[in-house]
Amino acid sequence: MNPAEVRRVAVVSTGVIGGSWAAHFLAHGLDVTATDPGTGAEERLRADVAAHWPVLERMGLAHGASPDRLTFVADPAEAVADADFVQENGPEREDVKHALFAVLDEATRADVVLASSSSGLLPSAIARGCPAHPERVVVGHPFNPPHLIPLVEVVPGERTAEQAVERAMAFYTAVGKRPIRLRQELPGHVANRLQAALWQEAYSLVDRGVASVADIDTAISQGPGLRWAVLGPFANQHLSGGTGGIAHVLEHLGPPTEAWWRDLRSVKLTPELVAKLVAGVDDELAGVDRSELVERRDAVLHALLAAKNDVDLP
């Protein structure tokens, strides 16, 4: 199916990620049918969409975009029956995915891509829940919040057809995303694995008493994180090398970097370390209203994305 022919998206499970996806699709002028078995799910979803809508309006809505184009049904089979694309956001458990995808597989047209927002499960494992058409299953992993962050990781499984990958990539691009395609299945995909590597050393530094939670947050948000928000790690390294570029950086800083790698520590999330991390965040954000912090974060993200759109960057 051509992405231009996608008129209705089914959003299956409407927690934090699903609600954000629903708002994003609505803002791009699509009809959305959502489903979630939780008590009060429809009310929470409509409240989430309403909360996201002001920043989406500032970013610019597609012609005809409206929260009124959101429909909620209790039955997942009914939700996907007329869908042209399915975005699933259920719990990160294979047994739950298999039960859910068995329903989606039977209820949707054979040409409809079934994309899972899974942050770590392999698409081949998810597709085992689709006995009829496993070839249309992909992971379409967004980054939170999906209505703002452009990245989507598209991951095919062992039995995924190339056509399904191309459809997913084209659809996400058409709704303003920056999809990347993975050539191999890996737990956690790419971006989460990169985050996990940083978290490992950050947790270790707290565990060893090298720096506080607040100081480590400052080290990233007021340091390399600012550059990473503009260009990726390789492009930033290239610029750091002056006229010699990344070749110069690797030649002169490669050996010290290897020494740092050897000094990085593994860490175990013991109850004591978890308590230390939680207490550190509580201290850092004491007196800060969470909803206000989310609003301020989203405002900065909007300004950053608008600035990036005005400049030609890779």
Q: What confidence tens digit (pLDDT) does each residue in 105-123 have?
A: 999 999 999 999 999 999 9
pLDDT surpassing 90 at residue 312 = no
Provide CB contacts within 8 A for 122, sequence distance 6+. 139, 155, 157, 185, 186, 187
No. of H helices and E strands in the chain?
A: 13, 8
Mean pLDDT, range 132-140, rounded to an integer: 97
d(CA 233, CA 254): 14
* pLDDT tens for each residue of 187-203: 999 999 999 999 999 99
pLDDT at 204 over 80: yes
With 70 as the cut, is the pLDDT of residue 60 above it? Answer: yes
Q: How far apart are the first and last CA of the chain?
A: 29
Output the CA angle 228-147-227, nearest 5 degrees: 10
Helix (H) or strand (E) holding 269: none
Q: Give the predicted TM-score (pTM) of the model.
A: 0.94
| Strand extents, DSSP E, 69-110 | 70-72, 85-88
Q: What is the mean pLDDT of residues 276-302?
A: 95
Contact assessment for residue 123 and residue 129, using Cβ atoms and an 8 Å cutoff: no
CA–CA distance, 170 with 38 (Å, rounded to integer): 32
What are the tokens at 138? 């992909």
Model confidence over 216-249: pLDDT tens digits? 999 999 999 999 999 999 999 999 999 999 999 9
Burial 153-182 (b: 16+ CB within 10 A, else e): bbbbbebbbeebbebbbebbeebebebbeb
Count Cα neighbours of 59 within 13 Å in the Cβ-side half-sphere: 27
* Rounded CA separation 197/103 (Å): 36
* C-alpha span between 122 and 138 (Å, rounded): 9
Helix (H) or strand (E) holding 157: none
* Closest by CA position to 49, among listed 35, 29, 66, 74: 66
- Residue by residue, DSSP assigns 25-69 as HHHTT-EEEEE--STTHHHHHHHHHHHHHHHHHHH-PPTT--GGG
On the question of pLDDT at 2 being above 70, the answer is: no
Residue 313 has a pLDDT of 87
The per-residue pLDDT for 168 is 98
Element (H, E) at 128: none
Q: How far apart are CA 202 and CA 225, in angstroms?
A: 14
Question: Is residue 226 within 8 Å of residue 304, measured between CB atoms?
Answer: no
Please give the average per-residue pLDDT across 170-178, as a whole number. Answer: 97
Beta bridge partners of 309: none
Question: Considering only CA atoms, which of 22, 28, 23, 69 is closest in space to residue 176?
Answer: 28
- Show the domains of the chain with their CATH numbers: 3-181 (3.40.50.720), 191-309 (1.10.1040.10)
Residue with tokens 């740092």: 260
d(CA 264, CA 139): 31
Say yes or no to pLDDT of 43 above 90. yes
